[in-house]
Amino acid sequence: MPAPSPAVVPAPEPEFADVDDDQEIVLEDLTREQVLDRRNRVAADHQLVFDHIDRYGELSAQRLFTRAFVAQVQRLSGLGHLDLGYTTWEQA
What pTM does this model have?
Answer: 0.60
Query: What is the model's pLDDT at position 15?
Result: 46
What is the extent of the structural domain holding 68?
30-77
Look at residue 92 and tell me if it is in a domain: no
| Residue 23 C-beta-side C-alpha neighbours within 13 Å | 11
pLDDT, one tens digit per residue, over 5-38 is 666 555 444 444 444 445 688 888 899 999 999 9
- 27 close to 49: Cβ distance less than 8 angstroms: no
The total domain count for the chain is 1
**19: in domain:** no
